[in-house]
């Protein structure tokens, strides 16, 4: 049993903190309504003692906890862990206290919760010891492997990553390809691709990677921009007799498109068409059509549409939105509107393609009219919708003008100051005053985020009135709509609850 208190350097330098209480469980393995509800007063009292007396002697801490007279359940232990998500000492000391209960046994869920907290606090020595204790108690599952490898990989403990598989095998958890694939997937999702590759290749003598393993590695390297490494993994996979699945092919194509190697991406697509036509589905065609339209290759995109139609693959709205943008980018406005009129149920993707294309042609008034139309049809704009429209009306660097009512510097700086971002406002003013320097690109996302509060509602209303006064009706409609419908989280929540 783990009963002693750690005194590592991490523990000596650690400053624990106590987060606000949350009484809903966050563990995916728990049921929505626990059978043993937690008493909030007891939970608050216990967490307060654990926080205030985390460095106290063991006997004193245990006596104070015992005086709380709370009902110890697994849900109670999990809630304590939830309130110290990055502080190992209170959680671990509470764990030691629960070990004194003769009728209370920890489960895989409670152990996973605790090791996750210890891992996030970077106490690797204690983390490693608790993992071995889980192995001895035979409470390890796939989630334990995910937590363990992610924590050890982030700490660059690569030898321990491999050793963990060997140790768990000694405890009776045999080498498993399924478990390895889940670990590799988790590491790649966290952009720890090099670490995932190291683990997979070091375990090759005990667990032979399959096509799924290689697919995760290829996708991971593509995500971090390692196309050369992804290509090496691809070639190794083919040499070992595994055929790349469609997900790996699409990821490789998407990466080639993004780094402007269009011809190579199309060669890969053509090879799929000639050898594995039956594997090509909507997602592959959508990807190819999207990038064809971005490069203005509308004729080729139409051929892809015809091929989809011949194969009885129905285009979704995301694909149609890409086509609309491609047509508008080439100036084929009437043709784009004809395509739009034939779409039975346009959604946000279709409207975004239309708005983005019109803004590229600098037809901001038409784009704003599409914005009004989508609202009338019940399609709610999102943050990206407002950002696109503001960039179209004000430019990517903000509108400049002598009239203070329409000078975007005035609106932006005033908003920053009101949001308490005086340092950012000062830097922006300094750059704009030095006319020899180029004004940095304006971040509309931050602007809207800073104003997403009750004060922002008033600000958008006042700015909208001033913009109408100088004839900028379109811009006024956009800002007033945002102020009315998306200014605060409460407003969005209440609107979502409305029938």
The pTM score is 0.73
pLDDT tens-digit readout, 289-337: 999 988 888 889 889 988 988 899 988 899 999 999 989 988 889 988 9
Residue 268 CA to residue 419 CA, distance in Å, equals: 50
Higher-pLDDT residue of 3, 369? 369
The mean pLDDT of the chain is 81
Domain range for residue 5?
A: 1-139
pLDDT tens-digit readout, 118-135: 999 999 999 999 999 999
pLDDT tens-digit readout, 356-397: 999 989 898 999 999 999 988 888 888 888 888 888 887 765
Residue 240 lies in a domain: no
pLDDT tens-digit readout, 237-279: 999 989 888 999 999 999 999 999 999 999 999 999 888 888 8
> How much is the pLDDT for 409?
55
Residue 91 reports pLDDT greater than 60: yes
Higher-pLDDT residue of 296, 196? 196
Residue 455 CA to residue 41 CA, distance in Å, equals: 35
Residue 490 reports pLDDT greater than 70: no
pLDDT tens-digit readout, 413-472: 656 665 666 666 665 555 555 554 444 556 777 777 777 777 777 778 887 888 888 788
Q: How many residues does the chain have?
A: 499
Residue 85 lies in a domain: yes
Higher-pLDDT residue of 132, 496? 132
Question: How many structural domains compose the chain?
Answer: 2
Residue 89 lies in a domain: yes
> How much is the pLDDT for 429?
57
Enumerate long-range contacts of 472-478, CB under 8 Å, 24 or more apart: 472/393, 472/406, 474/364, 474/365, 474/368, 474/393, 475/390, 475/393, 475/394, 477/368, 477/371, 477/372, 478/368, 478/371, 478/386, 478/389, 478/390, 478/393
Residue 6 reports pLDDT greater than 50: no
> How much is the pLDDT for 17?
32
Q: How far apart are the first and last CA of the chain?
A: 55
Residue 282 reports pLDDT greater than 50: yes
Residue 411 lies in a domain: yes
Residue 151 lies in a domain: no
Name the residue among 446, 466, 458 with its Cα closest to residue 487. 458
> How much is the pLDDT for 419?
60
Residue 422 lies in a domain: yes
> How much is the pLDDT for 222?
93
Averaged pLDDT, 150-178: 93
> How much is the pLDDT for 196?
95
Q: Which residues make Cβ contacts (< 8 Å) with residue 370, sequence separation at least 6?
A: 351, 354, 355, 358
Q: Please say whether the beta carbons of 224 and 191 come within 8 A.
A: yes
> How much is the pLDDT for 382?
86
Among residues 139, 174, 192, the one where a domain terminates is 139
Residue 10 lies in a domain: yes
Among residues 139, 172, 191, the one where a domain terminates is 139
Among residues 111, 139, 167, the one where a domain terminates is 139
Residue 3 reports pLDDT greater than 50: no
> How much is the pLDDT for 437?
46
Residue % of the chain over a pLDDT of 90: 43
pLDDT tens-digit readout, 20-34: 333 333 344 433 444
> How much is the pLDDT for 493?
53
Residue 475 lies in a domain: yes
């Amino acid at each position: 049993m783990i009963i002693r208190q750690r005194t590592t350097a991490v523990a000596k330098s650690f400053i624990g903190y106590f987060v606000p209480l949350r009484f809903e469980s966050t563990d995916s393995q728990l049921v929505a309504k626990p059978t043993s509800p937690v008493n909030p007063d007891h939970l608050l009292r216990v967490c307060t003692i654990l926080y205030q007396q985390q460095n106290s002697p063991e006997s004193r801490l245990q006596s104070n906890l015992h005086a709380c007279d709370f009902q110890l359940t697994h849900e109670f232990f999990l809630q304590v862990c939830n309130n110290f998500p990055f502080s190992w000492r209170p959680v671990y000391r509470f764990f030691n206290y629960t070990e004194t209960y003769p009728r209370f046994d920890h489960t895989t869920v409670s152990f996973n919760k605790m090791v996750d907290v210890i891992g996030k606090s970077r106490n690797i020595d204690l983390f490693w010891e608790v993992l071995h204790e889980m192995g001895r108690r035979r409470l390890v599952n796939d989630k334990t492997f995910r937590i363990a490898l992610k924590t050890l990989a982030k700490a660059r403990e690569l030898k321990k990553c491999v050793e963990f598989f060997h140790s768990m095998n000694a405890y009776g958890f045999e080498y498993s390809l399924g478990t390895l694939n889940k670990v590799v997937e988790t590491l790649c999702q966290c952009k720890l691709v090099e670490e995932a590759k190291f683990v997979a290749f070091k375990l090759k003598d005990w667990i032979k990677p399959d096509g799924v393993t290689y697919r995760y590695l290829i996708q991971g390297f593509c995500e971090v921009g390692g196309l050369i490494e992804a290509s090496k993994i691809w070639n190794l996979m083919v040499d070992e007799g595994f055929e790349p699945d469609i997900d790996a092919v699409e990821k490789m194509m998407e990466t080639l498109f993004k780094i402007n190697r269009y011809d190579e991406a199309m060669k890969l697509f053509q090879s799929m068409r000639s050898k594995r036509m039956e594997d090509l589905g909507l997602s592959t065609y959508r990807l190819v059509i999207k990038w064809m339209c971005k490069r203005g290759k509308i004729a080729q995109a139409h051929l892809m549409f015809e091929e989809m139609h011949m194969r009885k693959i129905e285009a979704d709205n995301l694909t149609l939105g890409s086509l609309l943008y491609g047509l508008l980018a080439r100036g084929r406005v009437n043709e784009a509107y004809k395509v739009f009129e034939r779409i039975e149920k346009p959604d946000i993707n279709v409207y975004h393609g239309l708005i983005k294309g019109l803004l590229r042609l600098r037809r901001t008034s038409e784009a704003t009219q599409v914005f009004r139309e989508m609202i009338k049809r019940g399609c709610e704009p999102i943050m990206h919708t407002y950002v696109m429209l503001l960039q179209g009306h004000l430019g990517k660097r903000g509108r400049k003008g002598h009239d203070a009512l329409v000078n975007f510097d005035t609106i932006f700086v005033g908003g920053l100051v009101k949001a308490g971002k005086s340092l950012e406002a000062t830097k922006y003013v300094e750059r704009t005053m030095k006319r020899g320097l180029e004004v940095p690109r304006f971040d509309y996302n931050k602007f809207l985020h800073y104003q997403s509060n009750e004060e922002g509602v008033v600000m958008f209303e006042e700015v909208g009135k001033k913009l109408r006064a100088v004839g900028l009706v379109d811009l006024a409609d956009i800002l007033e709509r945002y102020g009315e419908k998306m200014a605060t989280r409460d407003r969005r929540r209440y609107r979502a609850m409305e029938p």
